Each structure stands twice: as structure tokens, then as C-alpha cells.
């Protein structure tokens, strides 16, 4: 619980969009739920062409970031006021950008290791036709794209407030299909972007291009695939469990 309490203390105060008198106690059921999942799920090995060089250590860091990602949503008053279906839709479609911002904020560095090319060639010769599921597997190019996104964010050296408002802008995405409150959500996104612009101007008054560079770095995160993040960081823990269903349980757990 200590890491989450530190997380709450780092959040900017007074933001209508994101925070309003949060209490750390709201995280206790979520942390307990995720911890129980980690201890009861059978660890499985990845069958892709690569994997984390330190799956246990990096996986633990990633799990902590995931819990903070869902807590970020649960602690947002504006998000909590949305219809349950809209919350579920935003969660399913926007958790990866918010999670990647969390990786950047926590300075999570990870390395991947390749399976020997002879093994890959052997698999191709044995089964030259891939199933649809196999064709969607993440690639090393996707991993490098993720690492480039992280480096771009690190180069900006964003403050906790900048990260918070940027997460809000990524979370409240009116382009998600099927939203019943899309106009309201668009307003929340615009408010988050205005707040981000204001805090950037306050912290970096001489850097006129910082706001646009920050938005460009954030837009690059949208190219990171959900399957990559799930397979790379969480597949060893959740196995064949549907990630969307898992996240929904985390969001609504009491």
C-alpha cells in the first residue's frame, strides 16, 4: 500500500478533472485483488519470438504501474460520474496510453531477449501458415516503438502535474466508439489539455514549443498496440485470461 500512498501524495491538488480529496483506502481492495491474482495464476511462458530479459522483476514493476493506472481512473471524480458503459469503453480502449505514461513516469527500463533465429526458422518450416491469433502477436518492431515512445517522454522530463493532465487527455478520448456521453468526454479532454498547457506555461515560460512537443509524444503512444503490452508484460501472469475482462473487474472491484 505504501507505493500507492506515495502516488496519491504526488498528485496535483484541486483539479476538477482528476482528483478531489482522495483517500488511499480506496486502493486497498484493488491491491488485494491483484496480489491474489498474482499468487493464484499459473505462470506460463511466452511462445513469441522474444520476451523480457527479466520477466519477474519487470513484470512486478509493470503490475504496480497497472494497479496505479486503474487507481488513476477510479480516483477521477469526472470519470466516476460517467455511465458504467462509457467507463468500461474508455478503460478498454485507453488503458494502454495511460499505462505507457505510467511506465515513463516510473522510469521503467526493460530489455528483451530474442529467441535464436534457427528456432524461428524451424517453427516457420513446420507451420508456414499462421493462425489469425498468431498473426496478431507483437513484434520486436513494436517493442522498439514502445521504447522510443518512452525515451521521448523521458527527454521531456515531465513533472507529476504534466503527467497527470496528459493521462487525463489520453483517458477522456471522445473518439472511442459507442460512447453515450461523447460530448461531455470531449469537454473533459479539452479541459485536461488546457490544464496541461497552463502548467507547462507556468513551469517552462521560456519554452514555447514544449506543449506541442508533449502532445506529439503523447500521440506517438497511440501507436503502441494493446496486444504488445498484454503479451510482453502480463501474459506470464494472467495466462489466457481476457485482459479487458480483467481490467473491468479491477475497475469495479469494491
87-124 per-position pLDDT tens digit:
999 999 999 999 999 999 999 998 888 654 444 444 44
What's the whole-model pTM score? 0.77
The C-alpha atoms of residue 116 and residue 43 are separated, in whole angstroms, by 22
**Torsions phi, psi for 226 (to 5 deg):** -65, -40
Q: What is the mean pLDDT of residues 79-92?
A: 95
Q: So what's the pLDDT on residue 53?
A: 83
Whether the CB-CB separation of 150 and 232 falls below 8 Å is answered with: no
pLDDT at 163 over 90: yes
Domains and CATH numbers, the chain: 33-252 (1.10.565.10)
User: Per-residue pLDDT tens for 23-35?
Assistant: 334 455 555 555 5
Contact (Cβ atoms closer than 8 angstroms) between residue 73 and residue 247: no
Query: Would you place residue 44 in the very low, low, confident or very high pLDDT band (cuts 50, 70, 90)?
Result: very low
In angstroms, the CA 252 to CA 238 distance is 18
Amino acid at each position: 500500500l505504501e507505493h500507492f500512498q506515495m502516488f496519491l501524495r504526488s498528485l496535483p491538488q484541486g483539479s476538477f478533472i482528476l482528483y478531489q480529496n482522495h483517500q488511499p483506502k480506496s486502493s486497498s481492495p484493488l491491491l488485494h485483488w491483484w496480489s491474489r491474482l498474482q499468487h493464484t495464476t499459473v505462470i506460463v511462458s511466452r511462445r513469441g519470438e522474444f520476451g523480457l530479459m527479466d520477466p519477474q522483476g519487470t513484470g512486478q514493476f509493470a503490475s504496480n504501474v497497472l494497479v496505479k493506472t486503474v487507481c488513476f481512473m477510479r480516483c477521477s471524480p469526472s470519470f466516476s460520474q460517467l455511465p458504467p458503459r462509457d467507463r468500461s469503453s474508455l478503460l478498454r480502449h485507453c488503458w494502454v496510453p495511460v499505462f505507457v505514461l505510467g511506465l515513463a513516469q516510473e522510469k521503467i527500463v526493460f530489455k528483451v531477449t530474442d529467441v535464436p533465429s534457427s528456432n524461428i526458422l524451424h517453427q516457420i518450416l513446420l507451420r508456414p501458415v499462421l493462425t489469425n491469433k498468431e498473426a496478431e502477436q507483437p513484434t520486436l518492431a513494436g517493442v522498439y516503438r514502445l521504447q522510443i515512445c518512452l525515451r521521448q517522454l523521458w527527454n521531456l522530463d515531465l513533472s507529476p502535474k504534466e503527467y497527470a493532465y496528459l493521462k487525463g487527455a489520453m483517458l477522456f478520448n471522445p473518439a472511442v466508439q459507442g460512447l453515450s456521453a461523447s460530448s461531455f468526454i470531449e469537454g473533459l479532454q479539452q479541459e485536461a489539455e488546457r490544464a496541461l498547457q497552463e502548467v507547462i506555461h507556468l513551469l517552462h515560460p521560456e519554452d514555447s514549443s514544449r506543449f506541442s512537443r508533449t502532445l506529439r509524444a503523447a500521440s506517438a503512444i497511440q501507436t503502441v498496440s494493446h496486444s504488445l503490452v498484454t503479451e510482453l508484460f502480463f501474459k506470464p501472469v494472467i495466462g489466457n485470461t481476457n485482459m479487458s475482462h480483467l481490467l473491468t473487474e479491477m475497475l469495479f472491484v469494491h
